[in-house]
Chain A
Amino acid sequence: MKWLRNIIEVWVYEMKCALFDEGVIVFFIIVPFLYPLLYAYLYNNESVREVPTVVVDNSHSQLSREFVRRVDATGDVDIVSYCQDMEEAKEMIHQREAYGLIYIPKDFAKDVAEHRQTTVELYSDMSGILYYKAVFSSCTEVSLEMNKEIKATLIPGATEQQISAFQYPIEYQYVPMFNTQSGFCTFIIPAVLMLIIQQTMVLGVGMMAGEEREKVRKHIAEPHIIGKNPSEVLFGKSTVIFTIYIIVAVYLVCIVPMLFNLVHIWRWQTLLAFMVPFIAACVFFSISLSSIAHDRESFIIMFVFLSIPLLFASGISWPSSNIPIFWKGFSWLFPSTFGINGYVRITEMGATLEDVQYELNALWIQTFVYGAISYLVYKRTYGKQLWA
Chain B
Amino acid sequence: MNKGFNQIIAIAKREEKRILSRGLYTFCMVIAPVVAFLFFTTLMGEGLPAELPAGVVDEDNTATTREVIRNLDAFQQTNIIEHYPDFASARKAMQQGKIYSFYYIPAGTTQLAISGKQPVVSFYTAASYLIPGSLAYRDMKMMSEYASGAVGRASLYARGYTEDQAMAVLQPIKMEMHAVNNPSLNYSVYLSNTILPGIIMLLIMQVAIYSIYVEMKEETAQQWLAMADNDIVKALIGKLLPQIVTWTLMGLLCLFMLYGVWRFPLNSGIWPMLLDMFLLINASLALGVFFCGLVPSLRWALSLATLWGVLSFPISGFSFPHWAFPNTLKGLAWLFPLRHYFLIYVDQALNGLPLRYSWLNIAIMLAFWALPIMLLGRLRKFLLEYHYTH
Q: Do A and B form a real pair?
A: yes
Question: Considering the complex, which residues of chain A in the window 125-181 have a beta carbon less than 8 Å from any beta carbon of chain B?
Answer: 126-133, 135-136, 139-140, 143, 146-147, 150-151, 154-155, 161-162, 164-180
Beta-carbon contact of B129 and A302 below 8 Å: no
Within 8 Å by CB of A304, from B152, B306, B346, lies B306
Within 8 Å by CB of B152, from A118, A135, A166, A321, lies A166
Could you say which interface size class chain A belongs to? 35 or more
The answer to whether residues A117 and B202 also contact, given A42-B325, A45-B325 and a CB cut-off of 8 A, is no
**Contact pattern, A 107-131, Cβ under 8 Å of B = 1, otherwise 0:** 0100110011111111110111111
The interface residues of chain A lying within 8 Å CB-to-CB of B310 are: 304, 307
**Contact pattern, B 196-209, Cβ under 8 Å of A = 1, otherwise 0:** 00110011001100
Chain A residue nearest to B324 in the complex (CB): A48
Which of B9-17, B92-100, B242-250, B371-379 has 4 or more CB atoms under 8 Å from chain A?
Answer: B92-100
Least Cβ–Cβ distance between A263 and chain B, in angstroms: 8
The answer to whether residues A318 and B170 also contact, given A119-B176, A139-B175 and a CB cut-off of 8 A, is no
CA distance A351 to B126 in the complex (A): 12
CA distance A136 to B178 in the complex (A): 9
Least Cβ–Cβ distance between B345 and chain A, in angstroms: 8
Is residue B144 within 8 Å, beta carbon to beta carbon, of the partner chain? yes
CA distance A135 to B130 in the complex (A): 17
Beta-carbon contact of B302 and A42 below 8 Å: no
Least Cβ–Cβ distance between A343 and chain B, in angstroms: 11
Beta-carbon contact of A327 and B177 below 8 Å: no
**Contact pattern, B 135-173, Cβ under 8 Å of A = 1, otherwise 0:** 001001100100110011001100000001101111111
Question: Considering the complex, which residues of chain B in the window 297-331 have a beta carbon less than 8 Å from any beta carbon of chain A?
Answer: 298-299, 302-303, 306, 309-311, 313-315, 317-321, 323-326, 329
Does more than half of chain B's interface fall in helix, strand or loop, or is it mixed?
helix
Which of A21-29, A242-250, A363-371 has 4 or more CB atoms under 8 Å from chain B?
Answer: A21-29
CA distance A124 to B272 in the complex (A): 23
Interface centre among A67, A124, A178, A323 (most CB of B within 10 A): A178
Least Cβ–Cβ distance between A24 and chain B, in angstroms: 10
The interface residues of chain A lying within 8 Å CB-to-CB of B203 are: 301, 305
The interface residues of chain A lying within 8 Å CB-to-CB of B51 are: 321-322
Please name the 10 residue pairs, one residue from A and one from B, whose CB atoms are nearest each other, closest first.
A48-B324, A169-B151, A176-B127, A179-B127, A172-B144, A322-B49, A319-B132, A351-B95, A126-B182, A127-B346
Is residue A39 within 8 Å, beta carbon to beta carbon, of the partner chain? yes
CA distance A308 to B306 in the complex (A): 13
Beta-carbon contact of B175 and A345 below 8 Å: no
* Interchain Cβ contacts under 8 Å between A and B, 24 examples: A45-B325, A94-B347, A94-B353, A117-B167, A117-B173, A119-B176, A122-B176, A139-B175, A140-B175, A150-B173, A169-B148, A170-B109, A170-B119, A172-B121, A177-B125, A178-B128, A300-B299, A301-B203, A305-B36, A305-B199, A322-B51, A349-B128, A351-B95, A352-B95
Beta-carbon contact of B169 and A187 below 8 Å: no
**Contact pattern, B 107-137, Cβ under 8 Å of A = 1, otherwise 0:** 0010001001111111111111111111001
Is residue A212 within 8 Å, beta carbon to beta carbon, of the partner chain? no
Which of A219-227, A252-260, A273-281, A309-317 has 4 or more CB atoms under 8 Å from chain B?
Answer: A309-317
Least Cβ–Cβ distance between B317 and chain A, in angstroms: 7
Beta-carbon contact of A349 and B151 below 8 Å: no
CA distance A96 to B318 in the complex (A): 13
CA distance A306 to B32 in the complex (A): 8
Which of A4-12, A232-240, A290-298, A379-387 has 4 or more CB atoms under 8 Å from chain B?
Answer: A290-298
The interface residues of chain B lying within 8 Å CB-to-CB of A85 are: none
The interface residues of chain B lying within 8 Å CB-to-CB of A305 are: 32, 36, 199, 202-203, 309
Beta-carbon contact of A166 and B174 below 8 Å: no
The interface residues of chain A lying within 8 Å CB-to-CB of B306 are: 300, 304
CA distance A351 to B119 in the complex (A): 31
Question: Considering the complex, which residues of chain A in the window 347-382 have a beta carbon less than 8 Å from any beta carbon of chain B?
Answer: 348-352, 355-356, 358
The interface residues of chain A lying within 8 Å CB-to-CB of B156 are: 166
Is residue B84 within 8 Å, beta carbon to beta carbon, of the partner chain? no
Least Cβ–Cβ distance between B93 and chain A, in angstroms: 9
The interface residues of chain B lying within 8 Å CB-to-CB of A317 are: 130-131, 191
Chain A residue nearest to B38 in the complex (CB): A327
Beta-carbon contact of B298 and A168 below 8 Å: no
CA distance A162 to B95 in the complex (A): 40
The interface residues of chain A lying within 8 Å CB-to-CB of B190 are: 126, 128-129
Is residue B222 within 8 Å, beta carbon to beta carbon, of the partner chain? no
